[in-house]
Every structure is written in C-alpha cells, then in structure tokens.
C-alpha cells in the first residue's frame, strides 16, 4: 500500500470527531505475569503499549484509572462457582492434585497454570467491568482497557489463552442500564465465547470478522445466526488468509452501518485483537496499523458509549504500536510517526517508527467472495425487524455480587507473608497510607540516647526510686531501673515492662510508703513510759533492768518457739540474722530499747527505709515473722536453742548470760 493511502487512513483519526471524554484503565501489575516459558501470550505487551501512550502525552487528554480487580462474586455472574473456585486454588505447586479438574476445565496446554493466575484474571476483568460501569454512569464516553478482550473463555471452561471472559462481564454490566449492546470483534480468531454467552438473546448482537476454516477455534460459520429469541442477532463474517486494508474496509463499514440501522444499540463493545495485523506470529491477515485503526475510528464516529478492549496479538512490538496509535485515534490526537524514546525503545528496532506495514502476502479473499458474504449478512440483518424493546425494571445501585470480608482478607494476604522476595503489588502498596518512618525514632533521638542525654524507655523510674536515693548512695551500687542492691541481692530491670504492671508496682510501693509513714507518726505520738515487773506503768520498780529484761524474754519465748517451728525459708532467716547481727546496737542502747513498751512501732521507726528488703518485710511479713526478727537479734546461740526445740529453762539461762554481757 502506498504512502498516500496510509496517510489517508491515518488522517481519519481526526475526521468527523468531536472531543470525547476518555477513561483509560491500566494496572502496572499486569506486566508481571507470564504464562509459561515459550508461550505466545505475553502480558508484557500491555506494559509496552502503556509506555508509548505516556511518552506521546496522550494522558493529557484522558483520565487514567487503576481498576479494582474483579472479585470471585463478580466473576460468577457469568462463570460457574466450581470453575472460579478452581482458578482461585490451583497453583503450579499443587496442580498435580487437580489433574481431574484440569481436564474438566480445559486447563493445562494452551491455558497453562501459572503463578498469579487468578490475580491476572481479576485485573483483566476488573478493568472491563469498571469501564462499563463508568459508561453507565455517564462519567465518560469511551473506556479503554487493553488488558481485556479475552473472548474465548466459556462459562466453565478455559480456551484459547483465556480463562475469564471479561467481555461478557462488561456487557452484563452495560445491560443493567442499556437496552441493547453491540459487540464487534476484529480479532483474527472467532469470538466464540461471547457469541455463545448471548446466542439466545436479542439484547446483544455479536458481530465477528475472523479467519474461518482449518483454524482455531473452528466456529463462526456464516449460518451461525443464533437461535430462539436471539435468531439473526449473531453475525459472522468468515474470511480467508491475507485480507488487506482495502478489502477489510469494504466489508467492515457497510456491515456495521447496517447493524447500527437495524439493531440501534445504546452502547458498543469493540474488541481490537492485534493478531489480525500483518506479521503476527499466530495470525494470517495482512492488515496494517492504519487499516486496523480505521475500524476503531469508524465505530467511534457513531458517537455511542464505547468500551474498547484488547485481545489477541502475539508480536509484541506491533501490538504495542497499534494500541498506542488507536488510543491517539480515540482521544483525537495526531501522532508523530517517529517513536519517542522510552524504556522499551530497543523493541522497535530497526526502524523505530510508529507504523506496522502490510506485507506482500497474497490476498485469498476475492471481491466476489466478499460481496457474496456481505449480501448474506445484510439480508439476515433485515430479518431482525424493529429494534427489540426492553421492559424497564429497577436497577440495583450496586453491581451484583461483591467481596465478602473473608475474601477481602484473603486478597490482602496474598504474597505478603509467604515469600518475602516476592514484590508487593500496587494494590498492596495502596494500603500503606502512612509513612513507614512516621513512628520510628529519628537519627537525632538515637544520637542523644547514645550520649546519655535521653533515658531509654526500659529505664523509666518509678515514684519510689526517689525515696531510696540516699540509701543507694551509701551502697554505691544501683541497678538499671534505679533500685538499690541490698546485701548482694541484685535487682535487674525488666526492659520490657508492661505499662499496666508498672502502674500496679507503683501503687504497691506508694501504699508501702504510706504504711511506713503512719507507723513512724504513731511511734512519735506514743508516750514512752516504763513498765515495772508487776506490769504497772509509770511506777517505780525495785527490780533491776537485767531482771526486767529476763522477764520480758520469758514472756516472748513461747511465741518465738512457735514462730521458729513454722519457718520454711532458712536462707531468708539466715540473711536476716546476719543483717541483724551487723546492725546490733550497743549494750546500753539495747537496755534502753527493751525498757520501752511499744516495741514494734519503735523498731520500725528506727530502721532506715530500704527498697530492696525493708519494705517487703514491713508490708508483706506477717506478725510471726516480725517476732522471729526480734528473737534473731538476741544472738546466734538463742536462735539455735529456740530452733532446736530446747525448753524454756535453757533459753532463760542463755538470756541471763546475754544480759550480764558475758560471751
């Protein structure tokens, strides 16, 4: 074809066109999926097309969206539950466990199991359904989803590299608001999956231009026109190898014109399979990029809400260039034929041009053959009669189906925790709405903490720490949490204290301090009066201090015996006795203290407050332990006599010796 003809076809992009509001759907994750090594279907081609679209600044004339992936509930509006459940569960690792299901659902050869199969289907179907929904809401005039157009998938079967039929799902969404929907397929293969879905209805007319004969899928004969209420609403135009731009235009425009005349659709779905281009790996047509784009421009000229989808196409560089050019046709922008530099620039060697040329392939479609088929198709369209009417009914506000909480949770967990090396999808990154470093300590805080200017969170001090500072200075040792080390008993701070536990500890310590203060005040207020041998208070006594001490020791002896017989912790007793021996007062002080009546308050008041040990003895120690402490102060010999079970007489003799100051 000459350059003049190419320029004429290319200029049609700007003819008879008014500004349209275009919505463009693209998900960057789509290019991450790969069928299997050596498979002709390569989702990476969509990423190439998107790169060209952005480099040509076409985004300035359309709105770009990333649709939410279709859910299981949305897919089952057309497909069976069992089939979708199988696609959701099967993986390359467990596919051996689903051998029977693979045969049942035709998964394995042309439609292999690959990583992320269900997610790939969700992205493809989600863009088509969201595009149809925006057309219904009149948010746009044209919706584009190059990741869609998988027209071979059946209700419960995969076919022709297609698993989920996003086209059928998009048409079903359009039918919620539109009375009649027209489907046009310019893929080299017959759109059998879409035709089969709407073969018995008059609300959807399917029109397919495809290679027929010894060619996949082997359907799409001229006589296949639908059945029942859908009779004459399935249009098939079988073609032979090597059709050119002029021949294709001579049949496409008259047929679509008659379809618009008799069917009068309210919306159009256009499948733009790129395998009808010249030089495709699997195709056998001879269309150039301009001839292919002419079909897009002609459908656009009717001004109907249009959903434009991708499809086949197995020579990536040609598919990417054609879809980018057709995007420019839809937004009404004339595009430079010299490709702008982009991240996939080397794919377009050696010419680096925005063009796919026809070859010298022989055209097997004679003029007589094409005219004969065209006449039969138009005759079938006349038999459709007036445009079918549709009874109006309430339309649900939300699409049918939806995602349950369990399905949302399962979708959120995909690839997040199982394999840390797997990259996160764009949808997963969208859930991180806050800055990851927002709640992390800054470098300045770390530097200050290293220099001792900031106290670690595990070293927070409690209220009782400040009351023990004076005693801790004498010991010269402090534990990490500010507490003193008493008698070699090391106090270790818990770095991970729970806030509730810390509050409880503070409350206990505060109560202990209150008890100590109250006992001190009580000791100060109590008058110090002497008691004679007869028990009289404030009266002279002829008995010497030594006799008084002996009598008081005899009174306390039975209680000491009872206390010593119930001791279960000899280590604690030994430690307490050692401390008592070390703190033993002089003989004169001992006599003065023993002459005082309220012994326990006085003894408590004179003792220093020690956080490590004294508080625990004063708060938690029962009365028996307090009496035991008094007995231990009398010396090791009295303790041994008491704990060995000796009688009161032996204890009395020992105490008399102690009172005389003898060793």
Helices (H), 476-622: 499-525, 545-565, 570-582, 587-594, 599-606, 614-620
Closest CA relative to residue 209, chosen from 260, 261, 252, 166 = 252
CB under 8 A, 24+ apart: contacts of 565-574: 565/645, 566/624, 567/628, 567/643, 573/628, 573/632
- State how far the alpha carbon of 580 is from the alpha carbons of 61, 188, 591, 642, in Å: 92, 103, 16, 17
- DSSP letters along 76-90, please? TTTS-HHHHHHHHH-
Whether residue 203 contacts residue 390, with contact meaning beta carbons closer than 8 Å, is answered with: yes
The answer to whether the Cα torsion of 319, 322, 324, 329 is positive or negative is: negative
Residue 374 and residue 249: Cα distance in Å, rounded? 12
- Short-list 175, 219, 228, CA closest to 193: 219
152 catalytic residue (yes or no): yes
Q: How far apart are CA 604 and CA 583, in angstroms?
A: 14
In this structure, the number of other CB atoms found within 10 A of the CB of residue 550 comes to 17
The two structure tokens encoding residue 184: 């046009």
Q: How many CA atoms lie within 13 A of 259 on its CB side?
A: 31
What is the DSSP secondary-structure string of 412-461? HHTTTSS-TTSPPPHHHHHT--S-TTTTSPPHHHHHHHHTTSS--GGGPP
Tokens of 452: 């001792």
**Collapsed DSSP state (helix, strand, coil) of residue 65:** strand
Token digits of residue 115: 């990583």
**CB contact at 8 A, 420 and 90:** no
The Cα–Cα gap between 73 and 620 comes to 65
| Distance, CA of 181 to CA of 4 (rounded, Å) | 36
Q: Cβ distance 509 to 502 under 8 Å?
A: no
Q: Evaluate whether 598 touches 531 at the Cβ level (below 8 Å).
A: no
Query: Which is catalytic among the residues 50, 151, 152, 427?
Result: 152
Question: Token digits for 490?
Answer: 């090391």
Using alpha carbons, list the distances in angstroms from residue 326 to 10, 228, 302, 320, 355: 10, 37, 16, 10, 12
Chain centre to alpha carbon of residue 384: 51
CA angle 614, 615, 617 (to 5 degrees): 65
Cα–Cα dist 44/276, whole Å: 19
Provide the annotated active-site residues. Answer: 152
């Amino acid at each position: 074809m000459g350059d003049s003809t190419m320029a004429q076809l290319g200029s049609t992009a700007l003819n008879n066109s008014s500004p349209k509001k275009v919505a463009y759907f693209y998900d960057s994750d789509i290019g991450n999926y790969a069928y299997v090594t050596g498979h002709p279907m390569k989702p990476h081609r969509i990423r190439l097309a998107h790169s060209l679209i952005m480099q040509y600044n076409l985004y300035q004339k359309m709105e770009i969206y990333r649709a939410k992936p279709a859910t299981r509930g949305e897919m089952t509006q057309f497909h069976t539950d069992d089939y979708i459940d199988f696609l959701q569960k099967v993986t390359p690792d467990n596919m051996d466990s689903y051998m029977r299901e693979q045969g049942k659902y035709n998964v394995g050869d042309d439609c292999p199991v690959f990583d992320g199969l269900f997610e790939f289907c969700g992205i493809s179907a989600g863009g088509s359904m969201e595009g149809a929904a925006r057309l219904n809401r009149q948010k746009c005039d044209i919706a584009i989803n190059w990741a869609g157009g998988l027209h071979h998938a059946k209700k419960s079967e995969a076919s022709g590299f297609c698993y989920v039929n996003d086209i059928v799902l998009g048409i079903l969404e359009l039918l919620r608001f539109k009375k009649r929907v027209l489907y046009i397929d310019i893929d080299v293969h017959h759109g059998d999956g879409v035709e089969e879905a709407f073969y018995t209805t008059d609300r959807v007319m399917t029109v397919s231009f495809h290679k027929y004969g010894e060619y996949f899928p082997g359907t799409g004969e001229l006589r296949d026109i639908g059945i029942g209420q859908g009779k004459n609403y399935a249009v098939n135009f079988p073609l032979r190898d090597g059709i050119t731009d002029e021949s294709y235009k001579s049949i496409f425009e008259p047929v679509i014109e008659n379809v618009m005349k008799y069917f009068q659709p309210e919306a159009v779905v256009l499948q733009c399979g790129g395998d009808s281009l010249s030089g495709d790996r699997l195709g056998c047509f001879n269309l150039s990029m301009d001839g292919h784009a002419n079909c897009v421009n002609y459908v656009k000229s009717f001004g109907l809400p249009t959903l434009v989808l991708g499809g086949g196409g197995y020579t990536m560089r040609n598919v990417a260039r054609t879809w980018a050019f057709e995007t420019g046709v839809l937004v009404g922008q004339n595009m430079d034929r010299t490709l702008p530099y982009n991240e996939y620039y080397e794919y377009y060697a050696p010419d680096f041009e925005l063009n796919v040329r026809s070859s010298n392939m022989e055209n097997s479609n004679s003029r007589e053959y094409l005219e004969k088929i065209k006449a039969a198709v138009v005759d079938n369209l006349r038999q459709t009669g007036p445009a079918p009417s549709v009874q109006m009914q309430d339309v649900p506000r939300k699409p049918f189906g939806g995602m349950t909480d369990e399905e949302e949770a399962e979708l959120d967990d995909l690839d997040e925790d199982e394999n840390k090396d797997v990259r996160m999808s764009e949808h997963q990154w969208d859930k991180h709405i806050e800055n990851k470093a927002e709640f992390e300590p800054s470098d300045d805080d770390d530097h200050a903490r290293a220099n001792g200017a900031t106290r670690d969170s595990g070293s927070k001090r409690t209220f009782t720490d400040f009351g023990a500072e004076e005693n801790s200075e004498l010991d010269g040792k402090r534990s990490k949490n500010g507490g003193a080390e008493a008698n070699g008993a090391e106090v270790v701070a818990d770095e991970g204290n729970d806030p509730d536990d810390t509050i409880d500890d503070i409350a206990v310590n505060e109560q202990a301090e209150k008890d100590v203060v109250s006992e001190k005040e009580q000791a100060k207020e109590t008058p110090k009066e002497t008691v004679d041998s007869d028990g009289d208070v404030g009266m002279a006594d002829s008995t010497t201090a030594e006799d008084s001490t002996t009598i008081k020791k005899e009174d306390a002896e039975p209680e000491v015996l009872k206390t010593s017989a119930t001791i279960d912790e000899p280590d604690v007793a030994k430690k307490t006795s050692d401390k008592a021996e070390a703190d033993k007062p002089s003989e004169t002080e001992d006599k003065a203290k023993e002459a005082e009546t309220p012994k326990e308050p006085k003894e408590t008041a004179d003792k220093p407050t020690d956080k490590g040990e004294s508080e625990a003895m004063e708060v938690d120690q029962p009365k028996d332990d307090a009496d035991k402490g008094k007995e231990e102060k009398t010396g090791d010999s009295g303790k041994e006599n008491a704990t060995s079970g000796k009688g009161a007489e032996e204890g009395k003799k020992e105490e008399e010796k102690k009172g005389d100051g003898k060793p």
